[in-house]
Homo-oligomer: A and B are copies of this chain.
Amino acid sequence: MIVTVTDDEPKVLVVDGPDGGPPLLPSGPLDPDSDDTLDLAVRRWLAIQTGVTVSYMEQLYTFGDRMRSAPEPGERQLAVGYLALVPEETPAEGAMWIDTYDLFPWEDYRRGPPSVLRDDMYPRLDAWAFNDVARQGRAQITFGIGAPWDPIRVLERYELLYEASLVAEAFTARLEPLPGALGGRALGRDHRRIVATALGRLRGKLTYRPLIFEVMPEAFTLTELQHTVEALVGIELHKQNFRRIVDRGDLVERTGEHRSSTGGRPAALYRFRSDVVSERPSPGFSLPRPKRL
């Protein structure tokens, strides 16, 4: 799964699904002869399917449930998921960027609790948890109802929605027809689940690794940097404090240039100081700690 951020929206790269079906993440089988490492295999398929080359990439998770693959006896499909970050780039024919929050509209908390949550999800979660204290508890914790919203619980939220039959995949897995209104845009197979895994991991890792710079251009303003972080994490950050952290963390250095942005005082341009990666144990951006209630 390849992620970037453009115009302050997090994007994920997908390829057309077979037979006009829902899109899929780029993927392909390992060639045991030519692919010396899993990393190389992933890069090879990315190049073939999307034309995109990535620098930062990390392994996510290996999916191996029997359910995944067509249940032919004696055969089994393992899928090793990867997460890659790239600056914006135009993909090849057949591949396109889609907005991550089209897949998970409830994950964009930047302007407070998203309306999908309040208008759509809450009532349906209520119905699902009706007369079931355990379900009520889970829904409240994972969706931050009367509890702090935790940006990294992406997978938990998706799985709960799956369990509550509020996402399309829950029906296609049971070979049932889709009812009307469902949460977010679906991907083929279990790929939306993989994206949820990746987004959660990414949000968490941003706090202790300077991954964000993998999606930034060479030079950027602190506001751009902040908006990019906010886009991925899905919450807004306090501007001055963000800048303080970045400053103090020695993550960046001024280029000396300035940018006359859309009205207002020109912003100083910064570049990433890549040597911090080895210097410091955990250079990242602390998220606001969830408030205890």
Chain B residues with CB under 8 A of A33: 73-74
Segment of A16-24, A75-83, A180-188, A224-232 in the binding face? A75-83
Contact B74 A32 (CB under 8 A): yes
Chain B residues with CB under 8 A of A75: 32
Interface 1/0 per residue, A61-79 and B, CB below 8 Å: 1101111000001111010
Contact B64 A137 (CB under 8 A): no
Closest to A34 in B: B66
**Within 8 Å of chain B (Cβ to Cβ): is A138?**
yes
Q: Give the residue among A32, A80, A153, A290 with the most B Cβ atoms within 10 A.
A: A32
Interface 1/0 per residue, A146-163 and B, CB below 8 Å: 001010110000000000
Contact A38 B61 (CB under 8 A): no
Given contacts A141-B279, A148-B281, A290-B281, contact A30 B65 (CB under 8 A): no
Contact B59 A36 (CB under 8 A): no
Chain A: number of interface residues, binned into ranges: 20 to 34
- Give the number of times this chain occurs in the complex, counting copies: 2
Chain B residues with CB under 8 A of A36: 65-67
Interface 1/0 per residue, A25-57 and B, CB below 8 Å: 000001011011110000000000000000000
CB distance from A206 to the nearest CB of B (A): 14
In chain A, residues 127-152, which have Cβ atoms closer than 8 Å to a Cβ of chain B? 137-138, 141, 148, 150, 152
CB distance from A67 to the nearest CB of B (A): 8
Closest to A290 in B: B281
Given contacts A32-B74, A74-B32, A148-B281, contact A37 B59 (CB under 8 A): no
A residues near B (Cβ < 8 Å) are 30, 32-33, 35-38, 59, 61-62, 64-67, 73-76, 78, 80, 137-138, 141, 148, 150, 152-153, 278-279, 281, 290
In the A-B complex, the 6 residue pairs with the smallest Cβ-Cβ separation, listed nearest first, are A32-B76, A38-B64, A62-B62, A150-B281, A37-B65, A36-B66
